[in-house]
Amino acid sequence: MMKKIIAALLITGSLVSCTKDFSELNTSKDGAKHTTPETLLGPAVHDVLKRNLNRCLRLTHELMQVHVTLSDGDEIHRYVIRPQESDYMWNNWYIQLTNIKDIYKGGDVINSKAFMGISLVLDAWVSSLLTDVYGDVPYFDANKGRELILQPRFDRQKDIYEDLFKKLEEANELFKTATLTDTEAKLDPIYAGDLVKWRKFGNSLYLRLLLRVSGTGELNATSKILDIVETRKSNYPIFTSNNDSAILKFQTTAPYLSEFAEYRPIDFHINNSLGEFFINNLNDWGDPRREKWASKKDNTFIGIQSGYPVGQVPAPQSQYLETLKSEPLLGNIINYPELQFILAECAVKGYITGDAKTYYEAGITAALSMWGYTVPTGYLTETTAQWYENDNADQKLHHIMLQKYYTLFFTDFQSWIEYRRTGYPVLPRGTGLQNDGIMPTRLKYPVNVQRVNRENYSIAVANMGGDDLKTKVWWNK
């Protein structure tokens, strides 16, 4: 029985120590009944980002042909994702959601609108990752192990998204009159207490999520996009430069080390090479980011085929540079260039009235600038990155999503999620692909969830239409 309880607590992300008196769970020996929210903020964000990087390297970049394994036994690039892969992010996202929700509770106790707003933004970020990766997940009953809700029901993705939008609306309102003390601000690893930037972060994330569900025609997503960008833009400040980007910039000393800081070379870059698709576009554009991302082989940037058949492992070519292991920019959550590409897509689809080309070229300029470069001569006029006004909407979307793909370099699962949503960028298909050659559309539910929360799992599977790598989530149907 105890094993089942422990497993169920893990599912909800609410691991707590055993005690005879559950009413005293939040009471420390010095009499404090709540953890101060500022002490939870840095560790929670840092842990989520580290875990995201772990699986971005292992899953996202394999699926999206950023790199390709040089091991025949690892078949993710062939669209084979084993069930045990699901446990890692599920468990850790739920664990940190408990801490993130405690930031809100602590903020409420001390009447801090700042920490309440910060908690809501982070909650929307992590919860959106959970539902975008798995589909219907425990949400309203999740993270309630302290209340002895050990077998939470699964909620439909549409209902989850509707609540995420409410949280982001609430955060936007809270930030209007929020303040932080100097001591509290120093413990903010992203913005050092700049609540104007936190507000911009929340609203820029709001646009990412609204665009994600806009194709469903539900939740008034397209109307809200127009509201934020144009109709009531003064009420919804969004990123206006790279300096606004939500990035926890990794350091070379503790506490904010990158996930990769202590990786062995074989675990980070020796056992893979960059993909042909990833490298070839950069070569075509003469993109200077190659210098910070890729090594040369025989004095040139060259990639390898993704989805190669079993037994035909290619020879190593260009690989990640060792310096990326401590690169500060890999602590990215959402950045200004991504927002520009979001706005470009919204303009192409008629959700807003702005000029798509202007947003597109601003996105490219900002993306290169973020990495310390200016746009090379001819990049926007003499390469395949050039914008053509006479292109149809699909062709324009392809341009936008291809550039966005590079902007999402090492950003959790975003490039894979966006590929599922749009079908772009168009990836070459290796002859060794499995899963009927279909890009996985989600991760399967963890095995432990199936065992411990069987009844609610079965209901979720029936609602989703299956639990496999081809089942589509609500916004993707």
Residue 145 confidence class, pLDDT cut points 50, 70, 90:
confident
- 271 domain-assigned: no
DSSP assignments along 399-439, one per residue: HHHHHHHHHTTT-TTHHHHHHHHH--S-----TT--GGGPP
Strands 67-69 and 272-274: antiparallel
Phi, psi of 69 (to 5 degrees): -65, 150
Task: Report the pLDDT value the prediction gives residue 29, as an integer from 0 to 100.
Answer: 41
Which one-letter amino acid corresponds to residue 123?
D
Average pLDDT of the residues in 251-272? 96
pLDDT(350) > 90: yes
Structural domain contains residue 319: no
- Asked if the structure places residue 438 within a domain, the reply is yes
> What residue numbers bound the domain in which 67 lies?
2-15+58-258+329-476
Nearest-angstrom CA–CA distance, 276 and 65: 8
Residue 294's alpha-carbon distances to 198, 247, 278, 408, in angstroms, are 33, 22, 10, 16
Is residue 406 predicted with pLDDT exceeding 60? yes
> How far is Cα 208 from Cα 243, in angstroms, rounded to an integer?
18
Let me know if residue 31 belongs to a domain.
no
| Beta-bridge partner residues of 69 | 272
Task: Say how many domains are in the chain.
Answer: 1
Question: Worst-scoring range by mean pLDDT, 21-30, 74-83, 432-441?
Answer: 21-30
**Structure confidence at residue 60 (pLDDT):** 98
User: What percentage of the chain exceeds 70 in pLDDT?
Assistant: 93
User: For position 66, which CATH number holds?
Assistant: 1.25.40.390
**What residues contact 288, with CB distance under 8 A and at least 6 apart?**
368, 371, 373, 376
Confidence of residue 34 (pLDDT cuts 50, 70, 90): low
Q: pLDDT tens digits for 458-476?
A: 999 999 999 999 999 999 9
Is 216 contained in some domain? yes
In this structure, of 2-6, 70-74, 154-158, 443-447, the range with the lowest mean pLDDT score is 2-6
67 backbone dihedrals φ, ψ, rounded to 5°: -135, 170
Which pLDDT value is given to residue 144? 87
pLDDT, the chain, mean = 93
pLDDT at 150 (0 to 100): 86
Alpha-carbon separation of residue 379 from 1, 135, 190, 281, 376 (angstroms): 63, 39, 32, 12, 5
pLDDT at res. 27: 43
Separation of CA 96 from chain center:
15
| Percent of the chain whose pLDDT exceeds 90 | 90
Residue 446 has φ and ψ, to the nearest 5°, of -60, 145
User: 15 or 404: whose pLDDT is higher?
Assistant: 404
- Write down the pLDDT at residue 33: 58
Q: Decide if pLDDT at 28 tops 80.
A: no
Q: Which of 34-38, 62-66, 128-132, 374-378 has the lowest mean pLDDT?
A: 34-38
Average pLDDT estimate for 251-264: 96
Span of 139-153, 165-179, 200-214, 435-449 with lowest mean pLDDT: 139-153
Structure-model confidence comparison of residues 232 and 13, the more confident one? 232
Domain contains 76: yes
pTM for the full predicted model: 0.94
pLDDT at 62: 98
Is residue 268 a part of any domain in this protein? no
Q: How large is the average pLDDT for residues 52-70? A: 98
Is residue 207 within 8 A of residue 229, CB to CB? The reply is yes
For residue 37, being part of any structural domain is answered with no
Q: Is the pLDDT of residue 35 over 80?
A: no
